[in-house]
Amino acid sequence: MLLRILGKSLARRRGRIAFAVVSVVMGAAVITALFAVSMDVEDQVSAEFRKYGANLVVVPQSDTIEVGFPGVTFGSVTEQGYIEEEDVWRIMRISWRTNILGFAPFLYSVVRADSETASQDVVMAGTYFDKQVEIIDRYSPSDPEAITTGISVINPWWLSKGDWIGRSDDYKSALVGINVAEKMDLELGDTFSISYEPYGGGNETTCDVTVVGLVETGGYEDNQVLVNLQLAQDMTNKTGKVHTIQVSALCTGCPVDTFAEEIESEIDYVEARTVKQLVSAEMSMLTKFEGMMAMVTMVAMAASVLGVTTTMTTSVIERQKEIGLMKSVGANRRRISALFLSEAAVIGTIGGVIGFIVGVFLARYIGLSVFDTAVSTNIILLPMAIGISVAVAVAASIIPVRRAQAVEPAVVLRGE
Amino acid sequence: MSAGIISADGVTKVYGGGTRALDGVTIDIEEGEWTCIVGPSGSGKTTLLNILSCLDSPTDGEVIIDGATVTGLSQDELTTFRKQNIGLIFQQYHLVPYLTALENVMMAQYFHSIVDEEEAEDVLRGVGLGHRLQHLPSQLSGGEQQRVCIARALVNEPSILLADEPTGNLDQENGRKVLELIRSLQKEGRTIIMVTHNPEISRLGDRIIEIVDGKVRSDLRTREE
């Protein structure tokens, strides 16, 4: 019977109900759109930011030696430090390891590159491209976990042409920065030689490598030749040594500083530096976006509450005789409340569903016009939009419902 | 005071602003009696009916209905008591405009206990509206609307029926039908209290209580016991 009363009552007041539904739709649409944009764009913004490189760089602690006499300082020299390659995997032992996308160690050396048409000194960077690394868990050391990491994982956008070096024991392949390729007239498939002569003299080592890919980052890598770490170590006689480790942490709200501290305690002779400008910019933009989202949501919710309250109050005033009659034939305050709150729930549900649909399109528009990206809406937002809309509609009806509860049948039924 | 089905003892009603609508009314109504309350406009007869029907509470005095003291009960307690014991018939019918005749009757069942559509149809047939079950109030004549109102009052089988000017908005023919219906309900054993300003109609009852300025001016029986 409640459904009959509800259905007919709503159908009879379609115009007013439509007004309330529209106000709920506004709120639900804004909430849906902003959550969709927030969820989708946050990920995309994070990915965009990560394109600029790793957000943590691990370097060895530098040993600085003062040079001069007592009281007279000429300056200082810094001894070249290294990180042991066998310690690199320990980065994945920090408590925030699930937030670490991957890492890549680097060993840099200046080498001479000779192609058929040119010869010049370039920086050779030995690194991991796509390497399987075993992580020994502190709590189950006998069951190591293998992960794949390297620059193809943390910086996949570096490769502009060709392929990554697929195997870590491939000594015959190299990736070449686009500036190097241009100056030395190198293309995919070309072979050139790299030679390393130790500082201070010694036997020169030479190796022929084939260009399998071109790298374009807009950074230093454009001027480098990238080879497997093992090759770089062998050529420079720095077996098991690396200079730096780049770490890519997925971080839209987690404390990167804490990552750094944990890495430093895990490998006690390194310093982990956050790429602070990058991280703070990332945080700042996302924080601003979330702040804006919260503000717009509150305004939209307030508009919804106002719309529903107005409609329900008008409804109670117009239906005072009906309420009085229902009370006179036995409806207690709970039944009267149930009737009006059910109406509010129906308004909230309809508004939530329509608002979700409108919100999906709104999200796409915002995504394309503001973030220049296509936003996909997660279906999980539908029950959320309905839930929030129903809650808002019901909350907005509390004052009108109290007014309905207070209707005195003796007064309204005699028309006073 | 004797123990009738309805007893009002020194009932006073003072509205906000000091208007004294009832002033120490004491009446005692027997079970199965048809009592007509008469009086000029503003005399307090509707206020008395509202108090006897538990729609309103007296400022002072005591009301006992079917052995239960109803003065001092909360609004929800009065509502519960009313739906179990009292049926109300209004001058303006007060039907829900978007519900059919049948649904208006079923609504009273819903707020009372459980909905029984067949029973609601039977009651409507009993007041001569078997052919108007699915009509909206706007599609019914005044007399038919009043009979829907009576059916709604009857469907939960109350022992007491209170009617406020039930023929006030009806033409003579429809008024006669409604009064015949009320007579038949009394014959079934129900106690009827009816407010009217029409002296001719009041003489149809067993008893006429005249209220003037909130006080019982006269209390007459229309026929010898």
The reported pLDDT for the residue numbered B174 is 79
Q: Do A322 and B96 touch (CB under 8 A)?
A: yes
Q: What's the one-letter identity of residue B41?
A: S
Say if the Cβ atoms of A332 and B79 lie within 8 Å.
yes
Q: How far, in whole angstroms, is CA A236 from its chain's centroid? A: 38
Over the stretch A126-170, which tens digit does the pLDDT of each residue have? 999 989 888 887 777 788 888 889 999 888 888 889 999 988 888
What distance in Å separates the CA atoms of residue B163 and residue B112, rounded to the nearest whole number?
19
For B146-195, how does the pLDDT look when each residue is reduced to its tens digit (9 = 90+)? Answer: 889 988 988 888 889 999 888 887 788 878 888 888 888 888 888 999 99
Instruction: Work out the average pLDDT over B28-50.
Output: 90
Say if the ipTM goes beyond 0.90.
no
- Identify the sign of the CA torsion B170, B175, B177, B178: positive
Q: What's the full length of chain A, in residues?
A: 416
What's the angle, vertex CA A209, arms to CA A206 and CA A211, rounded to 5? 150
State percent of chain B over pLDDT 70. 97
- Mutation test of the interface with chain A: which of B13, B54, B70, B75, choosing the one with the most A Cβ atoms within 10 A? B75
CA dist., res. B170 & res. A68, Å (int)? 121
- Contact (CB<8Å) A330/B92: no
Which of these, A343, A312, A327, lies nearest to A408 by C-alpha position?
A: A327
Name every chain A residue with its beta carbon within 8 A of the beta carbon of B115: 1
Looking at this protein, which amino acid is placed at residue A64? T
Res. B101: pLDDT tops 70: yes
Mean pLDDT across chain B, nearest whole number? Answer: 88
Q: What's residue A277's pLDDT? A: 47
Q: Assign 3-state DSSP to chain B and report helix, strand, coil percentages, each to 5.
A: 35, 25, 40
- Testing the interface with A: which of B91, B95, B96, B136 to mutate, by most A Cβ within 10 A? B96
Distance from CA of B14 to the nearest CA of A (A): 14
| Whole-number pLDDT of residue A416 | 43
**Measured distance CA(A283)–CA(B32) in Å, rounded:** 82
* Distance of alpha carbon B51 from alpha carbon B71, whole angstroms: 9
Contact at 8 Å (CB) between B83 and B67? Answer: no
Searching chain A, which residue's CA lies closest to the CA of residue B86?
A: A329
Both structure tokens of A242? 């690396």
Backbone angles phi, psi at A145, to 5 degrees: -105, 130
Find out whether A67 and A73 touch, Cβ atoms under 8 Å: yes
DSSP 8-state secondary structure symbol assigned to residue A205: E
Query: Which residues, 6+ apart, have CB-to-CB distance to A145 below 8 Å?
Result: A134, A135, A137
A409 interaction partners in chain B (CB closer than 8 Å): 55
Q: For position A95, what pLDDT does the model report?
A: 83
The string of pLDDT tens digits covering residues B72-91 is 888 888 888 998 899 998 88
A309 sits in which H/E element: helix A276-318
Are the C-beta atoms of A194 and A124 separated by less than 8 Å? yes
pLDDT at B173: 81
How far B77 CA lies from chain A's nearest CA (Å)?
9
Does A138 lie at the interface with B, CB-CB under 8 angstroms?
no
Residue B3: is its pLDDT beyond 70?
A: no
Residues of B in Cβ contact (< 8 Å) with A328: 53, 55, 82, 88, 94
Upper half-sphere CA count for residue A295 (Cβ side, 13 Å): 6
How long a stretch of residues is chain B? Answer: 225
The verdict on A303 touching B (C-beta cutoff 8 Å) is: no
What residues of B are in contact with residue A5 (Cβ under 8 Å)? 96, 99, 103, 107, 110
**Angle at the Cα of A267 (from A111 to A59), degrees rounded to 5?**
35
Of B50, B75, B107, the CB nearest to A329: B107
pLDDT of residue A228: 94
- pLDDT 10s digits, A311-341: 899 989 988 889 999 998 888 889 899 999 9
Helix (H, G, I), strand (E, B) or coil at A368: helix
d(CA A24, CA A357): 13
For A12, the token pair is 């009879």
Name the closest residue on chain B to residue A321, using Cα atoms. B94
Secondary structure element (H or E) that encloses residue B221, with its range: strand B215-221
Kindly report the backbone phi and psi dihedral angles of residue B74, in degrees, each rounded to the nearest multiple of 5, phi listed first: -70, 170
pLDDT at residue B139 in the model: 93
Distance from the Cα of A353 to chain B's closest Cα (Å) equals 27
Closest residue of B to A333, CA-based? B76
- Buried/exposed code over B194-224 (b: 16+ C-beta within 10 A; e: otherwise): bbbeeeebbebbbbbbbbeebbbeeeeeeee
**Max CA-CA distance within chain A?**
113
**Residues within 8 A of B (CB atoms), A 381-410 only:** 408-410
Contacts of B106 in chain A (CB under 8 A): 1
Specify the pLDDT at position B204: 87
Q: What pLDDT, on the 0 to 100 scale, is given for residue B1?
A: 45
Closest to A49 (Cα-Cα) out of A351, A252, A303: A252
Contact (Cβ atoms closer than 8 angstroms) between residue A250 and residue A46 = yes
Secondary structure class of A172 (helix, strand, coil) = coil
Task: For chain A, 416 residues long, give each residue's pLDDT as a single digit of tens.
Answer: 888 888 888 888 888 889 889 999 988 998 888 888 877 766 666 655 555 556 788 888 875 544 444 445 444 545 568 999 999 988 888 887 888 888 999 999 999 999 888 898 999 999 999 898 888 877 777 888 888 899 998 888 888 899 999 888 889 999 999 999 999 999 999 999 999 988 777 788 999 999 999 998 877 788 899 999 999 999 999 999 999 999 888 766 667 778 888 888 888 888 888 765 455 555 566 677 778 878 888 888 898 899 899 989 998 998 888 999 999 888 888 989 999 999 999 999 999 999 999 999 988 888 777 766 677 777 888 999 999 999 999 999 999 999 999 888 888 887 44
